[in-house]
């Protein structure tokens, strides 16, 4: 197998087998992920162009500076925790795929179960973050009066600051921020949720011994590709919303 693979690397396809040396299912998973990356890319690029078209955008270091169970000002802390959770669940997934190559059912079960836990932990973090943003109350000066707003799809209390009654108070910021933030992180969270469901199905099928009977764990590989893609998208969401 290895020698034929090596020889095929430099040769043109002559029919009779998969042109890319991967199965149909895996190839189509790659193409699905490519099309999905265009969806995410379109969202993020639209976010970028709106952000560049405005004189003022929010300062992410002040919007995302909270951490559960503490009042301290900790910019980037919570989102880095989420990033580490997702990177780690990516590692457990790739180890599950590896155990699948070795036809080790127990190993696959262990690592897929850990991946599911990682996904659920990430979703819980996101739920906390969203709740905190939506229900949080921030002082905003709206038409000469002080109001207390949360960050939602229609309210953005993170606009430029002005002097009011001898103190600096924020004014309403661009409404687009909430739409893009909740839209894109929500779409990503939906992917994580789907990934958790797919991995749960994979775990059940592994436990039932379906892949052992089939003679290969290719389904775990395909689920793994999807899961790594979710991690890959998070890398860019993390960049666009929390770092720059």
- With CB under 8 A as the contact rule, which of the stretches 118-126, 127-135, 204-212, 228-236 interacts with other proteins? 228-236
15: contact with other proteins by CB under 8 A? no
Q: Is 243 in the site for other proteins (CB under 8 A)?
A: yes
* Binding test (CB under 8 A) with other proteins, winner from 14, 24, 69, 106: 24
Residue whose CB is less far from other proteins, 131 or 209: 209
CB of 201 to other proteins, least distance (A): 19
β-pairing verdict for 138-142 and 145-149: antiparallel
Letters for 185-224 (x = contact with other proteins by CB under 8 A, - = none) are -----------------------------xxx-x--x--x
Give the Cα separation of 119 and 230 in Å (integer): 10
CA angle 86, 88, 94 (to 5 degrees): 105
d(CA 177, CA 239): 15
Helix (H) or strand (E) holding 232, with range, is helix 218-237
Residue in 32, 91, 117, 128 binding other proteins, rule: CB under 8 A: 91
Other residues' Cβ atoms within 10 Å of the Cβ of residue 217: 27
Phi, psi of 168 (to 5 degrees): -80, 125
Which one among 110, 132, 205, 228 touches other proteins, defined by CB under 8 A?
Answer: 228
Interface with other proteins by CB under 8 A: which range of 16-24, 180-188, 192-200, 204-212?
16-24
Could you tell me the CA-to-CA distances from 192 to 74, 109, 121, 126 in Å, in that order?
25, 19, 11, 11
Query: Where in 30-89 is the site for other proteins (CB under 8 A)?
Result: 30-31, 34, 37, 41, 45-46, 48-55, 59, 61, 75-76, 80, 83-84, 87-88
Q: DSSP state, 68?
A: T
Q: Which stretch binds other proteins (CB under 8 A): 24-32, 120-128, 129-137, 177-185?
A: 24-32
Q: Quote the least distance from Cβ 216 to other proteins, whole Å.
A: 5
Site string for other proteins, 121-150 (x = CB under 8 A): --------------------x--xxxx---
Report the DSSP beta bridge partners of residue 142.
145
Q: Nearest Cα to 33, choosing from 196, 224, 161? A: 224
């Amino acid at each position: 197998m290895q020698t034929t693979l090596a020889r095929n690397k430099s040769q043109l396809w002559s029919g009779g087998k998969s042109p890319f040396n991967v199965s149909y299912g895996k190839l189509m998973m790659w193409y699905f992920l490519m099309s999905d990356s265009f969806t995410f890319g379109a969202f993020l690029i639209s976010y970028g162009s709106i952000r560049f078209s405005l004189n003022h955008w929010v300062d992410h270091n002040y919007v995302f500076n909270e951490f559960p169970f503490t009042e301290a000002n900790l910019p980037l802390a919570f989102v880095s925790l989420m990033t580490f959770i997702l990177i780690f669940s990516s590692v457990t997934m790739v180890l599950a795929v590896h155990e699948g190559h070795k036809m080790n059912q127990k190993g696959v079960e262990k690592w897929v179960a850990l991946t599911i836990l990682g996904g659920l932990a990430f979703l819980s973090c996101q739920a906390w973050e969203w709740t905190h943003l939506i229900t949080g109350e921030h002082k905003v000066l709206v038409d000469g009066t002080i109001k207390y707003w949360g960050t939602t799809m229609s309210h953005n209390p993170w606009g430029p600051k002005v002097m009011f009654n001898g103190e600096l108070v924020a004014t309403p910021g661009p409404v687009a921020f909430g739409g893009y933030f909740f839209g894109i992180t929500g779409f990503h969270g939906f992917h994580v949720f789907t990934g958790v469901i797919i991995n749960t199905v994979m775990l059940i099928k592994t436990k039932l011994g379906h892949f052992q009977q089939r003679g290969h764990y290719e389904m775990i590989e395909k689920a793994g590709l999807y899961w790594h893609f979710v991690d890959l998208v998070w890398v860019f969401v993390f960049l666009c919303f929390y770092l720059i």
